[in-house]
Amino acid sequence: METFPSILNLRIDWSEMDLFGHVNNVMYFKYIQASRVNYWELSGLAQWFKENNIGPILATTSCQFMKPLHYPGDIIVQAKVEFIKNTSFGLHHQIVNEQGEVAAEARDVIVYYDFNKNEKAMVPDAFRLSVSKLEGKAF
């Protein structure tokens, strides 16, 4: 079983339903965004951005839908880092329903970006260290 250090519990809202009686696919990306930001906060990345105006910017995201979600309900959105390169890193998310089933899996590629210079920046060693502590393995 995979370990995800970032765990976010969310309630499905009735307004997230579509015409067919299940959660609209766009809402899955909303859940993934919340998970992404939660990981950034846990890792210290959000704080580093506030201090330096250097931080994450989403390059790509994708989602594989496996099971429909319905209102009322609760979900868990969990995340972990899959890789860290020189200027980017990847997040793997799972959306888990109340039965413990994976309803969707998503992957992000995030670029570390210097908003002062409008260019990519090197992923800082402090982020690698923080992720290594969260994940329990070296990056």
Q: Which domain range does residue 60 map to? A: 6-133
| 3-state DSSP assignment of residue 45 | helix
**Is 59 contained in some domain?**
yes
**Is 40 contained in some domain?**
yes
pTM, rounded to two decimals = 0.94
Residue 79's domain is classified under what CATH number? 3.10.129.10
**Is 95 contained in some domain?**
yes
**Is 139 contained in some domain?**
no
**Is 63 contained in some domain?**
yes
Q: What's the pLDDT at 83?
A: 98
The domain total for the chain is 1
Closest by Cα among 7, 125, 104 to 133: 125
Q: Along the 139 residues of the chain, how does pLDDT read in single tens digits?
A: 689 999 999 999 999 999 999 999 999 999 999 999 999 999 999 999 999 999 999 999 999 999 999 999 999 999 999 999 999 999 999 999 999 999 999 999 999 999 999 999 999 999 999 999 999 999 9
Q: Distance (Å, rounded) from C-alpha 113 to C-alpha 64?
A: 27
